[in-house]
Chains A and B, each alone.
Chain A
Amino acid sequence: MNDRLSFYRKKNSLIHRLNPFTKLALIFTLIVIGIFGTGYWTASIVVCLVLIPLTFISKLFWEYLWVVLRLILPTATFMFVMQSIFIPGGITEIFHIGPFSVELETVQRSFLIVSRLFLVISAFAFLLLSTHPSELMSDLTRRGLAPQFAYVIISTLQILPQMQAKAQTIIAAQRSRGLDTQSSFIRRVGSLVPLVGPLVFGSLVEVEERAIAIEARGFTSTHVKTSLHDVPDSNFDKIIRWVLVALVLIALALKIWLS
Chain B
Amino acid sequence: MAIINLQNVTYKYPLTDSPVLHNINLQVNEGEFVAVIGPNGAGKSTLCYTIAGFVPHFFKGELTGTVEVAGSESSNSSLHEWVLNVGLAFQNPFNQISGAKYTVFEEIAFGLENTGVPREEMKPRVEAAMKLTDISDLADRSPYSLSGGQQQRVALTSILVMQPKVLVLDEPTSQMDPIGTREVFSVIRTMAEQGMTVVLVEHKVEWIAKFADRVIALYEGQILLEGKPQAVLTSDLLMDKGFGISRYTSTAREARNQGLWQNDRPLPVTLDEAVEGFRK
Contacts and interface: CB of A to CB of B under 8 A. Distances in A.
Across the A-B interface, give the 9 residue pairs with the lowest CB-CB distance, nearest first: A223-B116, A217-B111, A155-B99, A209-B95, A218-B114, A218-B115, A213-B96, A228-B109, A221-B80
A158 B94 CA distance: 13
Given A158-B99, A226-B117, 11 more contacts: A5-B144, A155-B100, A209-B90, A210-B99, A212-B54, A212-B88, A216-B54, A216-B83, A216-B89, A217-B110, A218-B111
Nearest to A156: B99
A151 B113 CA distance: 13
Given A155-B98, A230-B119, A216 B87 contact: yes
Contacts of B80: 215, 218-222
A212 B145 contact: no
B122 interface: yes
Max chain B C-beta neighbours (<10 A), residue from A217, A218, A220: A217
Contacts of A218: 80, 83-84, 111, 114-115, 162
Which among A3, A147, A155, A226 has the highest number of chain B CB atoms within 10 Å? A226
A176 interface: no
Interface string B57-96: 0100000000000000000000110011001111010011
A155 B113 CA distance: 16
Contact of B95 (A132, A137, A210, A221): A210
B120 to A, nearest CB: 10
A216 B52 contact: yes
A164 to B, nearest CB: 12
Nearest to A138: B113
Contact of B119 (A132, A154, A211, A227): A227
B129 to A, nearest CB: 13
A6 interface: yes
B125 to A, nearest CB: 11
Contacts of A159: 99
A226 B88 contact: no
B251 interface: no
B228 interface: no
Interface of A: 1-6, 132-134, 137, 147, 150-151, 154-155, 158-159, 162, 206, 209-230
Contact of B114 (A2, A212, A217, A230): A217
B113 A154 contact: no
A158 B144 contact: yes
A213 B98 contact: yes
B99 A226 contact: no
29 contacts: A2-B145, A3-B145, A6-B102, A134-B101, A137-B100, A159-B99, A209-B90, A210-B95, A212-B58, A212-B90, A213-B96, A213-B97, A213-B155, A214-B100, A215-B79, A215-B80, A216-B52, A216-B83, A216-B111, A217-B158, A217-B162, A218-B83, A220-B79, A224-B116, A225-B114, A226-B119, A226-B122, A228-B113, A228-B126
Contacts of B118: 226
Contacts of A213: 90, 95-98, 155
Contacts of A206: 95
Nearest to A137: B100
A219 B112 CA distance: 10
A215 B83 contact: yes
A217 B83 contact: yes
A205 to B, nearest CB: 9
A208 B104 CA distance: 22
Nearest to A213: B96
B141 A3 contact: yes
A228 B102 contact: no
Nearest to A223: B116
A217 B100 CA distance: 13
B116 A226 contact: yes
Interface hub of B58, B102, B115 (most chain A Cβ within 10 A): B102
A22 B158 CA distance: 32
Given A134-B100, A158-B144, A227 B52 contact: no
Contacts of A227: 113, 119
A63 B173 CA distance: 42
